[in-house]
Every structure is written in C-alpha cells, then in structure tokens.
Structure 1
Amino acid sequence: MRASAEDDGQDHAAPPSGGRTGRRGPRPAGSVTISGVAAAAGVSRATVSRVMNGSTSVHPELAARVRAAAERLDYAPSVAARRLALGRTGTIALVVPDLANPLFQSVLRGLSQAAGKAGRQLLVAESNEDPEEEVVLAIEARRNSDGLVLASPRAPDERLRALSDRLAPFVLVYRQVPGLEAPSLSIDNAAAIGEIVAHLTGSGHRRLAYLAGPPGSAGNAERLAALRAAPGLDLTVLPCGSMFDDGYAAAGAVVRSGASAVVGFNDMVASGVLTGLRELEVEVPGDVSVTGFDDIPFARYTTPPLTTVSIPKSELGAQAWERLWALMNGESGGYNVRFQPRLLVRGSTGPARS
C-alpha cells in the first residue's frame, strides 16, 4: 500500500522555497550527497534512497519532488554503492528458446525498456529449444541476477515446479504451470485456434494441415489439442518446428496431405511454407490457404500478407517487469493474466476451392 504525503514518517517538512538553488558556477562531480537532495526536497534520506532505487512505495508527489531536486542539483547516485547497499547485482535475466524468433525479440524490447527506466541491466540467454540447456541457463542466469523472466520455457511442468525455489523471484511468459507460485502471463491458445478454425471453416475449409511446433512447447500442445477438439475437421498433423526453414521444408508435405488450408505453429513457420508453396507453383490462397500465429512485424509484408492472430508482445515484456520488480521488493507478483489473441484476416486465406 502506498504511503500518502501526510503519513510518510519524517517527510512532513515543506520543500525550500525559491525554486532553483542559488549555486554559483559548476558543481564538482560527486559533491552533492543524498543528504543534500533530502534537504532540497524536504524529505528524509530514506525517502531519497527509496526513490533513487526505484521503489514504488513512495507517494508519487514525494517521488516527483525528490527527482526534481536531484535533477536540479545534478545528483547522480553511485551505482556501485547502490548495489552494495541493496545486496543486488543491478541485473535481471531473460531466458528464451530462440533469439532469432521476432516474437521473443519483441518481449525482450518491452522488458529491456521497462527495466532500463528503473536503472536495471538485462542479461539475455537462449536455450536453442533444448529443455535441459534451458534449465542450466535458468539456474546460472538467476545466480548472476536479481530476478528472472522465463519466456515460453520448454522444461516440463514438474521440472519447473522442482526448480521454483532456486529460480525465485521469477516470472513466466507464454506459459502457465499449475501449482507454480510464480506469476505468469500467458496466451489463450485454445481461443486463438478457435478463431482460426471458425474463419477457415466459414470459408468452406474442412481438410486442415497443422505444422506442429517443437515437441517441448506448451503452446504447441495447447494449439494441437484445440485443433483436435474442433468438430468436423479432417486434420493432418505434420512435424515441423518453429523457424522459417522448418516451414519451407514442410511445403511438399502440405501438398501431399491434400489439405485446403494450413495452420502454422507460428508466423515464422507460416512464412516459410508460403515461400515453399510459391516455389512449387501452388497458389495461396487459390489452392491452399495459410494462417500463422503471433503477428510478428513482417507478417503483414509476406506474399500474400499473412492471416494470423495478434498477441501483445511488448506489453508482455513490460508487465513481466512489473511483476518481477514487485517480487524483488518482497511484494506480491499479482494475479496471473491470460491474454486473448485477436484474429487478423489478410490475403493468405480465402474460400476453399470446390
């Protein structure tokens, strides 16, 4: 609970009047102390410390007053001293399956920008879609940081639960694990697939091919389960992967399947199969419709533009930071969030050929 301006301990003194201080000439670097900022802002040293360390427990008006005084006095806290006082590294970590996937780059950007505003650096590692490597990286990254964000982790549920104490504080992104205390920000994959299927069947498609993602992906499992549960479909599941080359290599299998529409595990896969089908002289969407998942930045620029579902990628990174920051300060990480994707219909889908 945030303190109000009236009940913040020693901070009842009014700020000094007269606006800017009447200093003469440039102030030597490092000559302004935390006590000077406290006196200029009319607050306690403890309040200045909390504001400089990014705490959200200070009333916004007091925090603004402290920051204004610090700027007026050219005060810059010592990073080394701050980290020593806090017993922290000043770094948070992000572990992702594959940095080449624009989906994770968007999360990285949102997380990095939010953490940077709080003066924190970001350590990034990728597991190359290997669940065992992911576990090793997560433990090592957490050892060298103050908190961890696991984006779309491939490790099994039971492994994540077993590692929970060693990784805390941490936040899950694109994944929800039952019985895990860490907060999660996930995607309603079943709802997204439901929208895709409704769109395709509404256009007369019944024979669908699914280009499956990595076996360890929880998102892949949820999307496949939703497709299998959809009534009235003749579904062919084709092993694929998560990258452009995987989709490109699957184009021949799509043609042999006789499917009139393809659901790609993600936009990278869907973009790859678009290219492969074009080289095989298969018209999209005239012969085969293609859909993706994620709405990565170049999905709208494929040929033809890709029908896909959009998810709030940068927002996921920013919200992951908010929850991690709360945990790092001994507060609750808040409630879990399950985002609802939005279908974006573009030129890669059309009526089934009769």
Structure 2
Amino acid sequence: MVRRTKATTIAEVAQHAGVSPATVSRVMNDRFLGAPEIADRVRASARQLEYSPNHLARSFALGQTNAIGFLVPDLANPSFQAVLSGLSKAAGAEGYRVLVADSAESAEDEPLLAAEIRRRCDALVLCAPRMAEDSLVHATATLGPVVLMNRSSSSVTAPTLSVDSRSGFEALARHLHGLGHRRLAYVEGPAGVANERRLQGLADFQGSVEGVTVERVAGGAGSEHGLEAVDAVIRTRATAALAFNDLVAVGLVHGLVESGIRVPDDISVTGFDDIPFARFMSPSLTTASVPHEVLGTLAWARMRALIAGTTPEHDVVFQPRLEVRRSTAAPRRA
C-alpha cells in the first residue's frame, strides 16, 4: 500500500483509476450506475491511495448531513435517556447519528432550540410535552421533517408517538382507591400539557367515585422537587401521594423517610414512567410503566419514512401499564 503524508484528493483517485473525478464522486456516494468493474476499480484505487471522502463537503453538496436532531426537556431524566437509546440504536444501524439539545425544562426556549438544531441536521424528533400549542404547531409546520413525541395534537400533521398519561394517572388513583385510600395528594409537575393530562386523569377518577379528596401540591419534574414537597404533602394528611413522575416520587419518598414518615405504612407513594431505578429503590416504586426505548425505535421508523419521502406508519398512543410494587399498601386503620 502507498503511504502518503498528505490527504489524497478525488482528482488523484480519478487519475489512478483512469476515470473522471465525477465518476469517483458518484461511486463514493453510492450513486454510480455504470459498469460494476469500473466501480470496483475506483474503490480499489481509493483503498490503495488511502482516500477518505470529505463528509462535510458531501453533506453540503447533497443537502444532507446523515444526522437527526432530538430535542428533550431534560436529558438527565432516565426516561428521555431511554428514548435516546432506542432512537440512536435504530438510526445508527442505518448510518445516521443523533444530535441532542436539552431545553433544561424551559418550554419558552424550546422553539428557538428546535430551529437551531434543525439547521444542523436533516430532520427533528421533537419531545416537547410542555411547549405552548401555537409554538408546537409552528415548529412542526416549519421545521419538517418532524416526528413529535410524548405529545399529541389535532392541529399537528407530523407523525406522533404519545403516551396516554391521562388514563395512566386514573389507573394509579384507582389502584390507591382499591387499597382503601380516600384522601390523596398530587405532587404536580411543571405547568403545561403533561401536568394538565394528569389532572384530567385524576378528575376522571374523582367523577366516578364518592368520598375521595385530592389535594394538589406544587412540585416540578425532578427529585429535588419531590423533596421540597414533603412538608406540604404531610400537611394534607393524605394517606397516599401521586407524584408527577418517578423522579419526583424518588425525592418525595426520600424526604418522607428522612422525616420519620414510613412508606407505605404511613403513606403510599406512586410515580409515573417506570425508570430503571424505580424497581430497585427501597421500597420499590408503584408506577405506570412506559416503553420509552420502544418509543425511540418507532420514532426512527417514522423519521426514516419522512426522509425517504414515503408515508410513515400510523400514529401510536401507548397505554401505560400499572406496575404495583412495595411503595403502596392499604392505609393503617385508626
């Protein structure tokens, strides 16, 4: 093999193979339609001369980057990490890479971040459960191809993959009711669609039973918010608390135990998402399970169709599965 001290040019490969630079370009970009022996000769010359295509130049020339963007509210949340894992594996198997943008739970910044990352890639997977509806409609209309995750909207034409958190929260409340709990507390998440859907689920539950109260407690999306909500939850005198998500539940359980409140003996606690840690914490967390890695895989399948100009598969709404663990039990009798 020839050892070279500088990068080989496409013209040098063309001269070595006895073809035009345009032929080399078409062969290296898998767009050559001529005789197979010519393509083989070009590739052999490229290997011998240690030619490495300039992928950045190729991206500009072809108008593609072989990268897709993924915008999330908080990459520290294991749920979004699982989605990214599924998305990256599926896209990587077909030569695509994923660029990630984290809005740090700032729904106001998400439209700008979405536009910025979209300029650097071929398409965008938008996970914006708290973005304002008008901003969401504008983003999906102007930044396509877009696949929308963790959100559904009748005003959006982009493919969507979402989770029915409304029914998931109703199922959690019914589980607590079935254990005998009649006074519940809900540690809320950040303002937005995701929190509203959970409140709707609780309203559905309350509308179908009698003698149940649900106290709303300010919270957020992280473990620190669950920890900060401990005193307010105790003041509600609830026998069971539903947390916005598993991370909030983890902080809440930790804070309750530190305050001398036993879980589930004194108060039951539920989460939402079924992050990996949920089953290993003490006590293990009752939650609503969502297949986040599957969501990532399905997102790529729809994105691939959009990039190829074909019709993507149908939209999907996942029904969370109730996972009953040791953080919930019947309330103590007075």
TM-score of the pair, normalised by structure 2: 0.82
- Give the secondary-structure state (helix, strand or coil) at the position aligned to 1:49: coil
- Counterpart of 1:126 in structure 2 is 102
2:297 matches 1:321: no
**Cα 1:50/1:286, change in 2 over 3 Å:** farther
- Structure 2 contact 114–139 (Cα < 8 Å) conserved: no
- Counterpart of 2:289 in structure 1 is 310
Q: How many Å apart are 1:184 and its aligned residue?
A: 0.6
- Give the secondary-structure state (helix, strand or coil) at the position aligned to 2:141: helix
In structure 1, the gaps of 5 or more residues are 1-24, 37-44, 52-69
1:269 corresponds to which of 221, 245, 248: 248
Stretch moving more, 302-311 or 230-239: 230-239
Partners in 2 of 1:201 and 1:152 — Cα distance? 32
Structure 1 segments, 4+ long, off by >4 Å, are 28-33, 73-78
2:201 matches 1:226: yes
Give the letter for the 1:344 counterpart: E
Give the letter for the 1:49 counterpart: D
Q: How many Å apart are 1:211 and its aligned residue?
A: 0.6
Give the letter for the 1:275 counterpart: H
1:261-314 deviation digits (Å, cap 9, x = unpaired): 011100000010000000111111111000000000100111101001111111
Q: How many Å apart are 1:179 and its aligned residue?
A: 1.7
- Counterpart of 1:295 in structure 2 is 274
- Structure 2 contact 129–194 (Cα < 8 Å) conserved: no
Give the letter for the 1:226 counterpart: G
- Structure 1 contact 228–235 (Cα < 8 Å) conserved: no
Give the letter for the 1:277 counterpart: L
- Give the secondary-structure state (helix, strand or coil) at the position aligned to 1:268: helix
**Cα 1:322/1:212, change in 2 over 3 Å:** same
- Structure 1 contact 134–153 (Cα < 8 Å) conserved: no
Q: How many Å apart are 1:108 and its aligned residue?
A: 1.1
Q: How many Å apart are 1:153 and its aligned residue?
A: 3.6
What's the Cα RMSD here? 2.8
**Cα 1:266/1:333, change in 2 over 3 Å:** same
Give the letter for the 2:246 counterpart: D
Q: How many Å apart are 1:329 and its aligned residue?
A: 1.6
Alignment of 1:57-206 (within 5 A): 79-80=55-56, 83-84=59-60, 86-206=62-182
Give the letter for the 1:139 counterpart: A
In structure 2, the gaps of 5 or more residues are 18-25, 33-42
Q: How many Å apart are 1:133 and its aligned residue?
A: 0.8
- Structure 1 contact 323–333 (Cα < 8 Å) conserved: yes
2:211 matches 1:235: no
- Structure 1 contact 240–247 (Cα < 8 Å) conserved: yes
Q: How many Å apart are 1:193 and its aligned residue?
A: 1.5
TM-score of the pair, normalised by structure 1: 0.78
- Counterpart of 1:284 in structure 2 is 263
Partners in 2 of 1:274 and 1:85 — Cα distance? 55
2:191 matches 1:215: yes
- Structure 2 contact 85–296 (Cα < 8 Å) conserved: yes
1:244 corresponds to which of 223, 245, 256: 223
- Structure 1 contact 182–333 (Cα < 8 Å) conserved: no
Give the letter for the 1:317 counterpart: G
- Structure 1 contact 171–184 (Cα < 8 Å) conserved: yes
Q: How many Å apart are 1:101 and its aligned residue?
A: 0.8
- Counterpart of 1:344 in structure 2 is 323
Partners in 2 of 1:344 and 1:165 — Cα distance? 37
2:234 matches 1:255: yes
- Structure 1 contact 192–340 (Cα < 8 Å) conserved: yes
- Structure 2 contact 269–286 (Cα < 8 Å) conserved: yes
Give the letter for the 1:219 counterpart: A
